[in-house]
Structure formats: C-alpha cells, structure tokens
Amino acid sequence: MSHIDIYIQELKQNTLTVKDRFGTLSIEILYAKPSPSSWSVAENLDHLITLNSSYFSIFKKLKSGTFQAAFVSKISFFPKILGNMIMKSVDVNNSKKVKTFPQWQPKVQADSKVDIIRKFEKHQAELIKYIKEMENFIEKGTIIHSPANKLIVYSLEQAIEIIIEHEKRHINQAELVWSQIKDKEIKKG
C-alpha cells in the first residue's frame, strides 16, 4: 500500500468517525458550547475545513507550475525541523492548547444552521481528490510553505500528515465537547 493510499484511508476514517459520532446530533447540539471560551463540535469541524482548504491554493499552484518556494526551503535541515515542530504541536496526544492563526478561526455561527457534517464530508472528498493529484510532488519530496506563513516550510508529505493528525486532534476535541454537553444535560434533567 502506497503512502497516498494510507493517507486516503486515514482521511476516509476521519470522515467516518465524524459521521458516526456526530451525524445524528441535532443542529442545536452541534453548535452548543460547554463554555463561552470553548469551541462547539461545529466550530471544531469548521476550523478543520477552513485550515485544510487553505492548502488548496498551494496544491493548485503546484499543479500549474506556478508555486514559488520560500528561500528558507532551500536550507536542507530547515523544513524537517519546522515540520517536526508543527507535527508535535498538532499531535493527538499533546494536551497543550495551541492558539490558531486568525485566518483559521471557525467562521460558523450557532444561528447559521449549516449542516456541518455534510459540509465536512464534502470537504474531505475534495481534500482526497487533491491529495491524489499531489502524488507526483510527494514522491519528489516537494517542499511547500504553510498557508499562514511563507517562512514556515516543510515537505508536502509532512503537510498531509500534519493535516490528518490535526483532524484527529480536533475530532477528539469535538468528542470532549459533546461529552461535556451531555454531562450538563444529564445534570439539568
């Protein structure tokens, strides 16, 4: 099984997990927050859609041959160090809270009534399509930059691994939110 096949399998599993765990929840529950400072299930999923989609313009530029690598990507050890640092920060077992860049903040509002589960599912299908198209670039060891900062560079392969791990982290956060909401409902009822 190739790396691409493994990535696609993991993304499909993340999608299935989201559908299985949150697909039957009401819109009100999906958008409920256990506290004002935490994100709802819907906001966690919207954050993933927003962040992952920010890579799409990089993927398009790679395909069209217009991608320009940052000068720091040419420093041989730099992409590996930065990629490993980011991977560690999004690791599912890292309980430390990480502040996200403003452009990746969730944008859905509780009153929007967006079917976030269907939106996530559609997004994942689009992400998988892009990853299939990136196979050549992954095999070549292409170095890209973060959509948030051109000086943060890592391999395209590591970017995909970061995306997948980051999804798992936020799915876990969404499960925790749902658990806290359930506990509140039980105490109320």
Of 122, 117, 125, 138, whose CA–CA distance to 8 is shortest?
125
Q: What is the pLDDT of residue 1?
A: 83
Number of structural domains (the chain) is: 1
Burial of 19 (0-12, 13-18, 19+ CB in 10 A): middle
Name the residue range of residue 49's domain.
3-188
Among 2-6, 33-37, 108-112, name the most confident range. 2-6
pTM (predicted TM-score)? 0.92
Q: In this predicted model, what pLDDT tens digit does every residue of 125-167 receive, in sequence order?
A: 999 999 999 999 999 999 999 999 999 999 999 999 999 999 9
Q: What is the pLDDT of residue 97?
A: 77
Q: In this predicted model, what pLDDT tens digit does every residue of 51-108 receive, in sequence order?
A: 999 999 999 999 999 999 988 888 888 899 889 999 998 988 877 777 787 788 788 7
Beta carbons of 53 and 123 less than 8 angstroms apart: yes
CATH number of the domain enclosing 29? 1.20.120.450
